[in-house]
Amino acid sequence: MQNHSVTMLGTGLIGEFYTMTLHSQRGRDRVEVVYSRTAERGEAFSARWGIPNSTTSMEEAINHPDTDVVVVGLPNDLHEEAIALTAAAGKAVLCTKPLARTAEEAKRILDTVERAGVFGGYLEDLVYTPKALKAIAAVQNGQIGDVTWVRSRETHPGPHSAWFWDGKRAGGGAIVDLGCHCIEIIRSYVGKGNRPVEVMCHADTLVHPIDAEDNAVALIRFESGAIGQFEVSWTFRGGMDLRDEIAGTEGTIWVNTFLRTGIEMYTSGGGEGYVAEKLESTEGWLFPVGNEVVELGYVDMFTDMFNAMEESRDPTETFYDGYVVNAIMDAAYRSNESRLWEPVDVEWRGGSTERIGSQAATFEGKNIVKEETLPDGRRKLILSDPESGAISDIVVSG
């Protein structure tokens, strides 16, 4: 039973969530050092979470002798530098999503970490929500057959921090902020060995006075024939909408992670207290979740990361996964410009996957298209001729 001591880089919303997770319940890992660009924020953060060391020097924070793990919770344009410094320090590094602003940058980061031989974990929390873990296991256990289609949706009224809205610093808009979640959710359901072949994306800036996209929809075609579909928006009204739908040849899964999870509250508006992230109102019908750091996957994510370190295995989400996500986002941006299906340009390590295949049952040499039981117990078969494709039907005894 090992304990880990963490350097936390960044004190924004994501740093809050990460630290809340590590310091909650009966955990044995602790944040020991925090880095913030401004001393005031760093000290307030330290005080809030009982962290002994605070510094405005990223290098000092990373190299602090008391810690063995560095968590990167910084704006996207600072990931590469922070990871390079951590790799040089020989410490494990866990980086928030997206790994980088482009696949090229992600690949450099991946190479740096692999060369240094340090542990790298990609902090894609939404793949680790308890519901996602349960649903992914159901898919892997064959409970819904072959996956044919996954829809992953993440939309809300827009981020809190200014830098997110600045396409230059963030590397884009809603796609970079939210699409990275959806892509990895989709990959987890279709199978990580299922190569993303090409992407079609439509993005637009419909509401906010910004350069980056505030809405996008994309289709990802995988080698098996499965389609991943992501929908992201910074203009959704009503809270934060996190939903996934998975269709398989033998079943269906619908996951609602945030707005409809079994607590419904109506309030005339009195009283006090935090209800939920990205909530738009504090009166009327509200839909909180039980425990946000659990429901958003942070708890299971850090468990996997630290356990993986101790067991000398890869975590479920690696820097390679982060790089694939960036490659898919790059294809999405190219597609939005070219208006074409764009190939996903990635150094693929995942092997190959067969085409979704349901071996059709046959009847007297014809393929059975559909079979229904009639009220009188007989069976009606709709048949297709394998040569001509001609459709016919026949009723047979039950």
Q: Which is nearer to a copy of itself, 107 or 151 (CB)?
A: 151
What residues from 16 to 55 belong to the interface with a copy of itself (CB under 8 A)? Answer: 24-30
Minimal distance, residue 292 CB to a copy of itself, in Å: 9
If binding is defined by CB under 8 A, does position 131 make contact with a copy of itself? yes
Contact residue for a copy of itself among 66, 114, 393, 395 (CB under 8 A): 393
Q: d(Cα 117, Cα 242) in Å, to the nearest integer?
A: 35
Q: What tokens appear for 339 in the block?
A: 């208006």
Find the shortest distance in angstroms from Cβ 262 to a copy of itself: 4
One character per residue 207-226, x = contact with a copy of itself (rule: CB under 8 A): xxxxx---x-x-x-x---x-
Site residues for a copy of itself, window 232-271 (CB under 8 A)? 233, 235-239, 241, 247-257, 260-271
Question: Angle at the Cα of 304 (from 141 to 145), degrees rounded to 5?
Answer: 15
Residues 162-191 that bind a copy of itself (CB under 8 A): 162-163, 165-167
> Does residue 196 bind a copy of itself (CB under 8 A)?
no
Q: Which residues, in sequence order, are CB contacts of 62 under 8 Å at separation 6+?
A: 7, 9, 35, 70, 82, 85, 86, 89, 91
- Residue 200 makes contact with a copy of itself by CB under 8 A: yes
Nearest residue (CB) to a copy of itself, 65 versus 270? 270
Q: Look at the block and give the residue holding tokens 């959710």.
A: 185
User: In the window 328-357, what residues touch a copy of itself (CB under 8 A)?
Assistant: 339-341, 356
**Cα–Cα nearest to 145, from 256, 255, 254, 252:** 252
CA angle 153, 94, 277 (to 5 degrees): 40
* 220 contact partners, CB below 8 Å, separation of at least 6: 183, 186, 196, 198, 199, 227, 228, 229, 230, 328, 344
Size of the residue set binding a copy of itself (CB under 8 A): 122
Interface of this chain with a copy of itself, residues 61 to 100, rule: CB under 8 A: none
